[in-house]
Amino acid sequence: MDSLAGRTAFITGGARGIGLAIARSLAGRGVSVAVADLDESALHAADAELSAVTTARSYLLDVRDRQRYAEIADAVEAELGPVSIVVNNAGVIDSVAPSRMDHTLWDYVMGVNAGGVYNGLQAFVPRMIERGLGGHIVNTASAAGLFVDGQSLLYKSGFLYHASKYAVVGLSESLRVELAHHGIGVSVLCPGPVATDMVENTQRFRPAEAPQRSAKINTILEAAQKLVRDHGVSPAVVGELVVEAMIENRPYILTAPDNAVPIRARMEALLDAVPQTPAQPE
């Protein structure tokens, strides 16, 4: 996209952390912004802040609620105009030990992290295609959607979380190819440690009927929360990276230089598994 000014953006998980930082960066470039979140008090604060800079609206939304999502999409476009920037950023970080795996938690984590992304796409992409005015989509995955590192607290977040984020990466990569001829770019955000309260916020909205985490999982998540709070990249930095990626239509947005080592190791393992000659039928 040559210019962002005058466009309208819709951002989930937009009242706090990375989502709010992206909204701030877009607002500063003359974009009208609509933010959606489950945290009502944070939404009010975000709305007041963003409205002082640009035209802004806020909406209470559980991204798993397809009907509510469709209603909000209609409301946003009626109030702010056609949406041509979509940031599917809402997410949770949760998991369970394999010995305690449970459909309730699977549905919750996949429903928010993967299903929520799809619901955002379903709500806006057909409209964007029909209008033919181009645009850009950013889907938030994680570095945990690119590799698993059993030695790192931050990158052994549990098989549920990894599965949901790998799904977002694959969805984004394939959709980028299919939307290119419509002039719609797609980027996948794969942040490393960012100074947010994602672990604590996840706990607030966790289903009451979900199985209790094991002591080991709790220890990992608590340590990860402390590490990102104390040493994570500022959300403001990520917000600027995302907006620059939109303008330049980059496929991937990463934030942690040390991710290069495990990513390279994974790519090398995949290449090593490629047979040198085609398999011969018996």
pLDDT in tens, 67-107: 999 999 999 999 999 999 999 999 998 877 788 888 988 99
pLDDT of residue 201: 67
Cβ atoms of 2 and 116 within 8 Å: the answer is no
pLDDT of residue 18: 96
pLDDT of residue 275 exceeding 80: yes
Domains and CATH numbers, the chain: 8-273 (3.40.50.720)
Q: What percent of the chain has pLDDT over 90?
A: 72
pLDDT of residue 230: 76
Average the pLDDT over 234-241 and give the result.
Answer: 96
How many angstroms separate the CA atoms of 213 and 235, rounded?
28
pLDDT of residue 207: 67
How many angstroms separate the CA atoms of 18 and 253, rounded?
13
The amino acid sitting at 157 is S
Higher pLDDT, 36 or 196: 36
Q: How far is CA 271 from the centre of its chain?
A: 28
What Rg value do the Cα atoms of the chain yield, rounded? 19
Cα distances (Å, whole numbers) of residue 269 to 148, 162, 216, 231: 13, 18, 28, 30
Check if 161 is active-site.
yes
Average the pLDDT over 207-232 and give the result.
Answer: 72
pLDDT of residue 154 exceeding 60: no
Average the pLDDT over 228-256 and give the result.
Answer: 93
pTM of structure = 0.91
pLDDT of residue 214: 67
pLDDT of residue 151: 64
Which of 59, 69, 161, 166 does the annotation list as catalytic? 161
Average the pLDDT over 226-240 and give the result.
Answer: 86
The amino acid sitting at 197 is D
